[in-house]
Structure 1
Amino acid sequence: MLTPLEADSLSILPGIRHGFFTRQGGTSRGLYASLNCGAGSKDDPVAVIENRSRVAQHLGSFGDDVQTIYQVHSADAHVVDQLVPRESLPKADALVTRTRGLVIGVLTADCAPVLFADAEAKVVGAAHAGWRGAIGGVLEATVAAMEGLGAERSRIFAALGPCIGPKSYEVGPEFVAEFEQAEAGNARFFAIPKGRKTPHFDLPSYVMHRLNQLGLRKTERHAPCTYENESMFYSFRRATHRKEPDYGRQISAIVVA
């Protein structure tokens, strides 16, 4: 049984269904146990297909899959109106739709998933906001693409889902310099924890900062740390620290019902 996390603000919207799905409730085994939805992993493709189908069915999709994209840590948003074959996925890091029953989603394993909805216009969006996409403008691009379909930012609700937290996100000085060069105030998203020598980055707070500058109706943060909660989430950084050969991906998805 799937028990995704849900944002309160999105849950009350009429005609909108969503979920920040965890790693629980799927068929994958081993490193990928159990709801691995990443087709780019080395997991059994049959298991991944079944996992994604379960997510689609949970949200009431008209198909047996979730429409995702070929994520490249860009600031590009793509409009979709039907399921696209996996071999033809567009390279982007956000997607939006107004097609009823078409579940759209993004895959993450530490990066920040953000789901958007304008219930009146019946337009939804999903963004994959790693640090590069966030600083590059992927959230802004998502809202602009939604507006192109008739949404209005004064009606858009946005929710940030599970991602890596600042206690686990150690970075180098060149990383800090890039953010400070982009905007002087970005220094507040970095801190050196007691007993440490290198800075840590607060990705969820930075993403919320970008969202709160967009003039949306409401923004919500529902972001437990993916690194620290192994039973609930996959984590690229945790797998790297353990020298594991691969890692799974959780999915965050939304649909106009």
Structure 2
Amino acid sequence: MSRNEPEFIIPDWPAPPNVKALATTRRSGFSGAPFDSLNLGTHVGDDAQTVARNRASLRRHLPTEPLWLNQVHGTVVADASQTPAGSDADAAVAHAPGAVCAVMTADCLPVLFCDETGTVAGAAHAGWRGLCNGVLEATVAAMTVAPERILAWLGPAIGPQAFEVGNEVRAAFVARDAHAADAFRPGAAEGKWLADLYQLARQRLEACGVTRIYGGEYCTFSEPARFFSYRRDGQTGRMASLIWLENPSSSRPENRSTG
């Protein structure tokens, strides 16, 4: 693979043919350490021109420039067709072809959405705060279709063996839903817990009526050659998970899948 050709993960889910989605890895970009190499984040201390080269490399595989959000660990959902780039939001939805929803992560959970007939797509950035406060539910509501018609894909995030949190995080989730206690195991020290973001996300999605849930098999922390991880490295790059609708007559862009 050439250095300037991004390496993608293509979601394994039964989305309609006009729904296109991908997630980037850290491989095959231009950034130097500690952002090596396909860093897409402009806010992490990487050289701005290098990030622009990385984004341009990704852009060749997309119909339009993605809506890059200023993610603030909240629950605001943007309209990908109308919201200005850089707006404060942690999710986006698209009801028409062309607009590309995008979220950036480096341990937080990216969740991609579509409906079974390909009329709406969405992407959400679910760190523990946003997940606890309802960013997934807000995204489902913004899609304006019945939840039972929605498919969700859980992209690369920190895994349940690596995400250690304090009592306050567990308590926040359990206060919202007692069943969330099932997603926490005691950590190595008193007052510490290992949290399963994937399980927490599934619980929240199922509670609001979304039961067709896919993905959730990655761990960004434990695969340093493939994924950025803020928890592991501190200063590091950002990956993107993207989704958009195409007109039924449009051809699928050529993507390199990493499985």
Q: Secondary structure at the match of 1:127?
A: strand
The TM-score with structure 2 as length reference comes to 0.86
Q: Matched residue pairs, number? A: 241
- Structure 1 counterpart of 2:174, which letter? E
Rounded Cα–Cα distance in structure 1 between residues aligned with 2:217 and 2:82: 29
SS in 1 for 2:164: coil
Which amino acid letter does the alignment assign opposite residue 8 of structure 1? D
Mapped partners of 2:60, 2:83: distance in 1 = 14
Bigger drift between 131-140 and 217-226 goes to 217-226
Q: 1:152, 1:173 → 2: CA distance?
A: 35
Q: Deviation of residue 155 (structure 1)? A: 2.2
SS of alignment partner, residue 55 of structure 1: helix
Q: Secondary structure at the match of 1:33?
A: coil
**C-alpha separation in 2, matches of 1:71 and 1:111:** 11
> Is the 8 Å Cα contact of residues 56 and 103 (structure 1) preserved in structure 2?
no
Whole-angstrom CA distance in 2 between matches of 1:214 and 1:96: 17
Distance in 2 separating the partners of 1:201 and 1:121: 33
**Equivalent residue number for residue 17 of structure 1:** 20
Q: What is aligned with 2:78? A: 78
The answer (yes or no) to whether the contact 1:111–1:163 under 8 Å persists in 2 is yes
- Structure 2, gaps ≥5 residues long: 247-259
Cα RMSD (Å): 1.8
User: 1:29-108 to 2 correspondence within 5 Å?
Assistant: 29-58=32-61, 60-61=62-63, 63=64, 65-81=65-81, 84-85=84-85, 89-108=86-105
Tell me how far apart the structure 2 counterparts of residues 222 and 203 of structure 1 sit (CA, whole Å).
Answer: 9
Distance in 1, Cα, partners of 2:118 & 2:22 = 20
Q: Secondary structure, in 3 states, of the residue corresponding to 1:168?
A: coil
Q: Which residue of 1 aligns with 2:251?
A: none
Secondary structure of the residue aligned to 1:176 is helix
Match of 1:130 in 2: 127
What is the aligned-residue identity percentage? 37
Greater helix share, structure number: 1
In 2, Cα distance between equivalents of 1:223 and 1:77:
26
Secondary structure in structure 2 of the residue aligned to 1:251: strand
User: How far 1:216 sits from its partner (Å)?
Assistant: 2.9
1-side partners of 2:96 and 2:143: how far apart? 12
* 1:84 Cα deviation from its structure 2 partner: 3.0
Deviation at 1:72, TM superposition (A): 0.6
Matched residue, 1:231: 225
Counterparts of 2:59 and 2:142, CA distance in 1: 23
